[in-house]
Amino acid sequence: MSKTCLGALPMLRCTLVPAAAVVAGAVLLLSAIALAQQPQAEQKPPEQAQGEQKQEGKPDNAQNTAERDKAEQEAAARAIAEFKEAAAKLSSSAGAAECVWTGRRIASLLWRDDIDTARRYIDLYDRFNCSSEHLKLVFRCVIEQGPLDPKAADRLASRVHGCWIAPEGETTAASQATVGSGAKQKTIPN
């Protein structure tokens, strides 16, 4: 037994202290429940409230969505056209959509020195029975055209696609301009 329960009227003291704690806990619990049930004005984080105000002030939000959808559709149409071009101009293994898709990514990854990811794509490329010789020629074509601005991902994609279609062809005017500007800026090839 504890020391508080010893002495005069031990039973009364031992039962009142725990009972008072239980009653106090119940009162706190009930008051918390009552506060939670009271209707209050809807509180929103400041960022969400500002975002709603901006949306209310901009009726052209639907226009932005329409423009974005149109841009996505154009990009999809461009990609389909590139796959059709490759199928028309290349042999069956190098012109197949799955070979074009994986092969262009491999060439881009190798250019950016992401060898581990490129190796995983090469396994996929081989599984589709794509032409490994064509991939070698494409990467050689990309390298021979000289350095690119690392931040210009669209130029790399354009160069890789051009090399995919004609890996042994002449360098394009855009790539010659890139090489020329790289020489003027004295950049070091990657």
DSSP state of 17: H
pLDDT at 42: 58
Closest C-alpha among 12, 20, 173, 14 to residue 181: 173
DSSP type of residue 5:
G
188's tokens = 């070091």
Domain boundaries along the sequence of the chain: 75-179
- pLDDT tens readout for residues 33-57: 776 676 665 555 656 555 555 555 5
Residue 94's pLDDT is: 87
Q: What is the pTM of this model?
A: 0.55
In whole angstroms, what is the distance from residue 139 CA to residue 133 CA?
A: 10
Residue 20 burial (10 A CB sphere; 0-12, 13-18, 19+): exposed
Q: How far apart are CA 160 and CA 157, in angstroms?
A: 5
Mean pLDDT of all residues in 89-95: 84
pLDDT digits (tens, 9 = 90+) for 153-186: 789 999 999 999 999 875 444 444 444 444 433 3
Q: Judge whether 131 and 99 are in contact, CB under 8 Å.
A: yes
- 106-156 per-position pLDDT tens digit: 999 999 999 999 999 999 999 999 989 999 999 999 999 999 887 777 899
Sequence letter at residue 77? A
